[in-house]
């Protein structure tokens, strides 16, 4: 009985000592105690310098582009995307077959994934064609303008996104294009 009482007393002293230590720490640093602990896990925002692509789009004729569900402007921007991000190399010299090489495949594949997702969403009736067209226009603007920029951290963020909705959010809301 005496050992239980001693153990209980020691346990009580240890617990109360720890509580008093927290109070003493709060009194020693009052400015830290006033500050509320908020875990703002804000997502990084990417900023890229851009130029106007109106001149690039004006050189694209109707014969060069295919008809797209989201409109003529989207089809022109897709043509521009393909011309920037992909190129052909011969497989073997003298052989007419070529292989398509993609520059910055993470960004290019993300844009294509978003395109497929938005087309399916419009087909299912989950989103209107105008909304999908506006979102995809923003995605294409970002992709066409970040081609010449250093995008290692941006590509890492794209690789870490797990679903298409967060990928659309990343490319439309978390990228600032500065003229």
Q: What is the mean pLDDT of residues 28-54?
A: 66
Instruction: Give 117-145 pLDDT, tens digit per residue.
Output: 999 999 999 999 999 999 999 999 999 99
Q: In this predicted structure, what is the pLDDT of residue 25?
A: 60
Same domain, yes or no: 30 and 50: no
Same domain, yes or no: 24 and 53: no
Count of domains observed in the chain: 2
pTM above 0.75, yes or no: no
- For the record, the structure tokens of 127 come out as 């989103």
The domain of 79 spans 46-178
Distance separating the N- and C-terminal Cα atoms of the chain? 80
- For the record, the structure tokens of 6 come out as 């001693």
Same domain, yes or no: 26 and 111: no
């Amino acid at each position: 009985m005496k050992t239980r009482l001693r153990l209980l007393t020691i346990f009580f002293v240890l617990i109360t000592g720890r509580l008093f230590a927290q109070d003493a720490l709060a009194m020693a640093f009052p400015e830290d105690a006033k500050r509320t602990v908020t875990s703002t896990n804000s997502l990084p925002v990417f900023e890229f310098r851009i130029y106007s692509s109106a001149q690039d789009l004006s050189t694209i004729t109707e014969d060069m582009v295919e008809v797209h569900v989201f409109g003529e402007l989207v089809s022109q921007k897709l043509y521009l995307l393909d011309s920037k991000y992909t190129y052909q190399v011969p497989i073997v010299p003298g052989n007419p077959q070529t292989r398509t090489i993609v520059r910055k495949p993470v960004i290019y594949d993300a844009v294509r994934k978003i395109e497929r997702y938005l087309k399916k969403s419009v087909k299912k009736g989950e989103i209107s064609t105008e909304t999908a067209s506006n979102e995809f226009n923003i995605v294409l603007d970002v992709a066409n303008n970040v081609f010449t920029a250093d995008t290692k951290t941006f590509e890492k963020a794209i690789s870490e996104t797990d679903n298409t909705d967060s990928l659309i959010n990343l490319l439309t809301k978390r990228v600032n294009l500065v003229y």
